[in-house]
Structure 1
Amino acid sequence: MTLTLPPAPHDETGAGRHLVDAARWPDVARLPPASALRTSIARRIVERAFRRLPLRVRTGGATAPLPHQPQGGAARLPVLTLRDPDAFHRRIGADGLIGFGEAYMAGEWDSDDLVEVLTVLAGHVDELVPGPLRGLRRAWVRRRPPSDLNTVEGARENIHRHYDLSNDLFATFLDPTLTYSSAVFASLPADAGDLPAAQHRKIDRLLDLAGTGPGTSLVEIGTGWGELAIRAALRGARVHTVTLSREQRELALRRIADAGVADRVTVELCDYRRLEGTYDAVVSVEMIEAVGAAYWPAYFGAVRRLLAPGGRAALQAITMPHEQVLNTARTHTWISKYVFPGGLIPSREAIARESAAAGLRVVHDTGYGDHYAETLRLWREEFVRRSAEVTALGFDHAFLRMWELYLAYSEAGFRSGYLDVRQVVLTGGERPGEDAR
């Protein structure tokens, strides 16, 4: 089943840019300055790439196909519709993939199957730009702004910009556990009714990997809305969990009290770098992506410092190929601009290197990216179904399209294999002989 938000209301050009609130979305409401040369080059690159990809491209209206179709195929191909081709190519000429995302927010392109189009693009990411032109990449991309650095103050602001949007917003598409990370399903494909049990299965696996049981002292880096802390406390653990999101902390405290474990869980508004003490177990779920490469040594150093002798750290982390980490570490992307400021997805190599430098050893490493693709599909479909509720919370159409693109873009990353998600166990080296898989 494919669910997609309705396209933005269009003006005579076929786009909805004139309806975008310029105060909230200034770079979406107006076209960027771009030279005719850059726009022309971008058009040639895009049209060349589209001709080689297994998708159909339509321009103007929804019924006028461009002759950019691969040979020999009666199979159904996803359709990308250019509602304002001139604006689309101008944005890409000026800002590359940031422009691609802003063009979607402005309604300058649409798709009958957004995830499939993005999966095609993600699966052919290395082929989109001709080899001789890849060396010019730096001329097309923007560097991350200094304000995105995850200093102690910067991290607080970056977390606020995503996680403090509204607890009610996240509740529209997450399952009742309010777990905002990949689930582990009993079987695939899954349906929405499977999601709460799949989230508990994921949490329980991490707690098992960390050796959590009665009397375990556990610190969690990144509280979320408290579900992992609750399940750890129900096992008899004593939990100290930290977050930088005030909204998440307030709701987590209520949920922990409602679960009857407030006497065993402390929720602190605290940066992980300022944590003190030692613990039998450290657990951190999809938090390293918000740290930034400059602070990976501080993150793994904190994990090592907090881990008592013989203790175990269980991390869940999204990963991408190491070459892409190197390409994007300093690049300002659409995701870093609009969704996760200051964030960077690590590679397995980066995790292994940075953890080893901190005196930690990887003793377990398993991935299940196909489960994240299913998790994101369920979130996206629920978000689209309840888009009227999101609008009632005060979020406009540009936000709806931004969030749909974010969820679809992420799902496509996992479906194409460009992204993975892994559960990793680290020790301080006190447990020789364990297998690293």
Structure 2
Amino acid sequence: MTMTDDNGTASASVDNKTHGPAATHSPAAWTAGGVPAAPATIDPDLWPGVAQPPSGLKADVAGKAAGLMFKGAVRRLPLRVEYPDGSVLGMGGPDAPVMTMVRPAAFEARIGDNGLIGLGESFMAGDWEASDLAAVLEVFAASVDTLIPVPLQKLRSLYLPRTPRQERNAEQNTRSNISRHYDLSNDLFSKFLDSTMSYSSALFPGGAGPLSEVAWDSLAEAQQAKIDRLLDKAGVGDGTRLLEIGTGWGELALRAAARGATVYSVTLSSEQQALAQERIAAAGFADRVTVALQDYRAVEGEYDAVVSVEMIEAVGYEYWPIYFQTIDRVLAPGGKVAIQAITMPHGRMLATRNAYTWVHKYIFPGGFLPSVRAIEGVTQQHTTLRVRERMGMGDHYAATLRLWEERFVARSREVGDLGFDAVFQRMWLFYLCYSRAGFQSGYLDVQQIVLDRREAQL
């Protein structure tokens, strides 16, 4: 899964080893919701953007201005923000999501200095808490267009930094960007993913339904249903030569091989490659599946079908043409393409394509979400491929993320035993909840998109 948000500022990114050493957690180190409490002292070498809030005259002024802006926005939202002095802001009633301020001044300094990046960093630091983090973030996601006054939105390009050059997804940078997320630890991902090790939206049979009714036991089957639909749409069967861009941990390659396909799958994650190869060999499909540590741009050969699940989000805005040109180049006559892509509204995509965000800094360097319109435009302008069919399933992603979030929290102590400290765990929880909030609010969607060349053959 690749998610990006759309506002804020940041300094240099942390790398994938800044999670800190394993720690022994006493009961007092955990919040009532089972989330690790932020430590009283945070190591500045591990977490330079989190250990201390910004200070100095400039930070004080920016913090006070941000605080006034935040309070003004909150007064219009269906939310309750509770302060240490007993005051409460927001239009929410007794059942509304509650955001509890622990250190208001630090919170304001962080958002004054770093916008929405500061919102995430302040949660990582423990400056605020929420009993239902996803619900709080959903309120913000639903109001993203009005949180910042329009005159200040127009000044976005003057104060938001561009993506650091070393994080642009040029070939020399892409493996590092991918590694910083996917090479964290296979054991980490296994703590909250289901037995298929699928890290993308599931497709729940009969619809996602109310989130509270989707059970963990249904997730593996729903992940396989998602994969099977993509394979069906791409026409994958006995004898199909299939290219998979983005291996994950091998479930799609396994299911394609079981159909009799020959699979060439590419990844830039050495951790994913190792586990995928292990799973494929154990299933007896090593002779049908090749998992290569290779950039998609370097793929050669000809394939009857191309499938790519939530990979385009890691490609980067400026590289979408070459992504689709590569698919176009290797696709055999009569071949089909099926991709699964997280999408955002086209207007927001255009407004934020140069922004550097909390998700970039801490989760997915170099990532960016396309819009459906962008995918259609890029393929029409740069390839012979045309979008033929698409299906939105954002509610299914919200359900998937809730299950991941619950599993991650339930296994938080085990995650700590792997060496991921409290700040990392709060960061990861914020990421999962922020992502779920995007889908629950309708701000984000996920699409299964089918492409072919029928128009070019007329």
TM-score, normalised relative to structure 1: 0.93
- d(CA) in 2 for partners of 1:92, 1:113: 21
* Map of 2:54 onto structure 1: 32
* Map of 2:440 onto structure 1: 415
Is the CA contact 2:308–2:338 (under 8 Å) kept in the aligned structure 1? yes
Q: Deviations along 1:131-182, whole A, 9 cap, x unmatched? A: 2332233344322111110111210000000000000000000000000000
* Map of 2:351 onto structure 1: 327
Correspondences of 1:12-411 after superposition (within 5 Å): 16=39, 18-33=40-55, 34-60=58-84, 65-70=86-91, 74=93, 76-186=95-205, 187=207, 188=209, 189-357=213-381, 358-411=383-436
Change (3 A) 1:103 1:38: same
Change (3 A) 1:77 1:264: same
Q: CA deviation at 1:26?
A: 0.7
Paired AA for residue 383 in structure 1: F
Paired AA for residue 30 in structure 1: Q
Q: CA deviation at 1:39?
A: 1.7
Q: Deviations along 1:252-290, whole A, 9 cap, x unmatched? A: 001001111111111111100000011000000000000
Number of residue-to-residue matches in the alignment: 420
- d(CA) in 2 for partners of 1:360, 1:5: 48
Is the CA contact 2:265–2:292 (under 8 Å) kept in the aligned structure 1? yes
* Map of 1:12 onto structure 2: none
Is the CA contact 1:94–1:140 (under 8 Å) kept in the aligned structure 2? no
- d(CA) in 1 for partners of 2:323, 2:103: 44
- d(CA) in 1 for partners of 2:347, 2:455: 32
Of 356-365 and 27-36, the range deviating more from structure 2: 27-36
Q: CA deviation at 1:3?
A: 8.9
Change (3 A) 1:431 1:176: farther
Pairwise CA RMSD of aligned residues?
Answer: 1.7
Paired AA for residue 51 in structure 1: R
- d(CA) in 2 for partners of 1:24, 1:192: 34
Q: Deviations along 1:345-368, whole A, 9 cap, x unmatched? A: 110111111111222100011101
Is the CA contact 2:390–2:448 (under 8 Å) kept in the aligned structure 1? yes
Is the CA contact 1:95–1:140 (under 8 Å) kept in the aligned structure 2? no
Is the CA contact 2:35–2:409 (under 8 Å) kept in the aligned structure 1? no
- Tell me the percent identity: 54
SS across alignment from 1:28: coil
- d(CA) in 1 for partners of 2:36, 2:197: 29
- d(CA) in 2 for partners of 1:74, 1:96: 27
Is the CA contact 2:36–2:425 (under 8 Å) kept in the aligned structure 1? no
- d(CA) in 2 for partners of 1:293, 1:168: 31
Of 165-174 and 26-35, the range deviating more from structure 2: 26-35
Q: CA deviation at 1:430?
A: 5.5
Q: CA deviation at 1:127?
A: 1.3
- d(CA) in 2 for partners of 1:121, 1:286: 24
* Map of 2:451 onto structure 1: 426
Q: Deviations along 1:206-242, whole A, 9 cap, x unmatched? A: 0000001100100000000000000000000010000
Of 88-97 and 130-139, the range deviating more from structure 2: 130-139
SS across alignment from 1:181: coil
Is the CA contact 1:362–1:424 (under 8 Å) kept in the aligned structure 2? yes
- d(CA) in 2 for partners of 1:126, 1:404: 24
Q: Deviations along 1:332-356, whole A, 9 cap, x unmatched? A: 1000000000000110111111111
Q: CA deviation at 1:431?
A: 8.2
Paired AA for residue 246 in structure 1: S
TM-score, normalised relative to structure 2: 0.89
Change (3 A) 1:424 1:249: same
Is the CA contact 2:386–2:455 (under 8 Å) kept in the aligned structure 1? no
* Map of 1:6 onto structure 2: 35
For structure 1, which runs of at least 5 residues remain unmatched after alignment? 10-15
- d(CA) in 2 for partners of 1:139, 1:362: 36
Q: CA deviation at 1:7?
A: 5.5
Q: Deviations along 1:397-432, whole A, 9 cap, x unmatched? A: 000000000000000000000000000011123688
* Map of 2:3 onto structure 1: none
Is the CA contact 1:243–1:270 (under 8 Å) kept in the aligned structure 2? yes
Q: Deviations along 1:11-63, whole A, 9 cap, x unmatched? A: xxxxx4x4222111111012225433322221111000110000000112xxx
- d(CA) in 1 for partners of 2:335, 2:94: 53
Paired AA for residue 68 in structure 1: L
SS across alignment from 2:145: helix
Is the CA contact 2:36–2:412 (under 8 Å) kept in the aligned structure 1? no
Q: CA deviation at 1:130?
A: 1.9
Is the CA contact 1:281–1:313 (under 8 Å) kept in the aligned structure 2? yes
- d(CA) in 2 for partners of 1:74, 1:35: 33
Is the CA contact 1:314–1:426 (under 8 Å) kept in the aligned structure 2? yes
- d(CA) in 2 for partners of 1:105, 1:408: 13
